[in-house]
Structure 1
Amino acid sequence: MRATLRWVFWDVKDTLLRVRASVGEQYCKEAERVGLDISPVEVEAAFRLAYRHYSSRYPNYGLSQGLDGRSWWMSVVRDTFSRCRVRDPALLDTMAHNLYHNFCKAENWEVFPDSKATLERCSSLGLEMGVVSNFDRRLEEILHVCGLRSHFRFLITSEEAGTAKPDPAIFKQALQRCGVLAANVAHVGDHYVNDYLASKSVGIHGLLLDRSNQRNARDVPAEHRLRSLEELPSLLQQHKL
């Protein structure tokens, strides 16, 4: 007998919303405020190097090495601009502080057109919802200013959980939070490994949001792949998982 779906877990970034402008553009806007003139292309390249370095050396915001989300991100920003030949410590600190807080503002995020209606439809089906996201503690404020926070009973970020997807432990924490079996839960996200495979590894019904149709049926069966969030409610209602 097929278990009844009771909960939907959600990834957030690039599933429900995305950064509105490129990192290079946003960082350069902040640099301009303190009198610096740097190319967005140069900043974007420097950011990718800095982000890759810190993600590798200090995974999940460096929690196991004495860091937290705020100090980790500020270090990434400082490193980014240092690679662009900015040497003034005061300027680096100012830009890092401002950018960390700027990303909590609604103007820096774009909610996908199909997000709110899909969340409302899921609620109307009687489904409870929670968030499981590789994000820092700012996520709750971001969801609030973007008008999405009220849809979720709980949020678990990788900073809060102390572990990040694809570690199954973060999904197990979410299951403990909602108090149901994995068979009663679906998880929706855009990342093949972090969302689809990781949720399935603990028995959750993984659903991959594939807006650009990059995955073929050998990777993800058609009934587990969404081209748009608009397809989700009917899939959940029919429980063709």
Structure 2
Amino acid sequence: MGQFDAVPKVIFFDAVGTLFGVRDSVGHVYAALAQIYGVTVDPTAVNDAFYTSFKAAPPIAFPGIAAEQIVMHEFEWWKAIAHQTFTTIGAVEQFSDFDRFFDHLYDHFATAKPWFIYEDTFPTLDYWRNQGVDIGLISNFDSRVHQVLRALGLTRYFDSITISTEVGAAKPSMAIFTAALRKHNCAAHQAWHVGDSRKEDYGGAIATGLRGFWLQRL
């Protein structure tokens, strides 16, 4: 106990920024869809405003919420960020129907279109699958991650998928890592976690007793 296994019983991965990322930038995707609704904005300004709004938002976790209400809360969480993003750059009033725009935007991010898969993703997942190691996903995304994984051809690799909105706790909380470990009947020292956030992924994993790997994407 207390020492990490040379080969893990299960290896967990983060999703966005680790296995796949946003094409161009969030700002480019937002700006391109806004153009469809007659709103012209600078993608770089949108991107900066998005990340400011995103970082200021509360964790995407809804403890105590009934399961059937989670999807609605996810939608409203992201809508608030999008609204604040366009408010910050002074463009929200340009939309004749912001709700209609956001419906389109939200659905768009549930498809493969705004995403790209990092070139090392499939080889890495294939390697661990061939080693007989369980593979899990731990993500602060939302329920749409299931659709995205299917669209990108990644679902088949995962023995478990654990997301913050279903657990009611977001990384770096120990609760989400513990919930993921329970799905594999696995002790923390038998598991690894790989992610691109030093605080949420590496810090959360280490605090829970997993072996953490901080993946620094360029």
Instruction: Give the TM-score taking structure 1 as reference length.
Output: 0.79
Aligned length: 209
Runs of 5+ unmatched residues, structure 2? none
Q: What is the CA-CA distance between 1:99 and the residue it aligns to?
A: 0.7
User: Greater relative contact order: 1 or 2 (C-alpha under 8 angstroms, separation 6 or more)?
Assistant: 2
Secondary structure of 1:131's match? strand
1:16-165 alignment runs, 5 A limit = 16-53=19-56, 55=57, 58-60=58-60, 68-83=73-88, 84-87=90-93, 91-165=97-171
Q: What is the CA-CA distance between 1:210 and the residue it aligns to?
A: 2.7
List per-residue Cα deviations over 1:180-230 (Å, max 9, x = no partner): 111221111122221122112222111222345xxxxxxxxxxxxxxxxxx
Runs of 5+ unmatched residues, structure 1? 213-241
1:203-214 alignment runs, 5 A limit = 203-212=209-218
Q: 1:89 to 1:110 in 2, by over 3 A?
A: closer
List per-residue Cα deviations over 1:143-166 (Å, max 9, x = no partner): 110111110011111111111111
Kindly report the root-mean-square deviation, in angstroms, between the aligned alpha carbons of the 2 structures: 2.3
Confirm or deny: 8 A CA contact 1:78 1:93 kept in the other structure: no
Confirm or deny: 8 A CA contact 1:62 1:72 kept in the other structure: no
Distance in 2, Cα, partners of 1:45 & 1:201: 31
Percent of paired sites with the same residue = 31
Confirm or deny: 8 A CA contact 1:61 1:72 kept in the other structure: no
Distance in 2, Cα, partners of 1:158 & 1:44: 24
Instruction: Give the TM-score taking structure 2 as reference length.
Output: 0.86
Counterpart residue identity of residue 70, structure 1 = F
Confirm or deny: 8 A CA contact 1:119 1:151 kept in the other structure: yes
Which is greater in Rg?
A: 1
Counterpart residue identity of residue 37, structure 2 = V
Q: What is the CA-CA distance between 1:77 and the residue it aligns to?
A: 1.6
Q: Where does residue 227 of structure 1 map in the other structure?
A: none
Counterpart residue identity of residue 81, structure 2 = V
Q: What is the CA-CA distance between 1:59 and the residue it aligns to?
A: 2.6
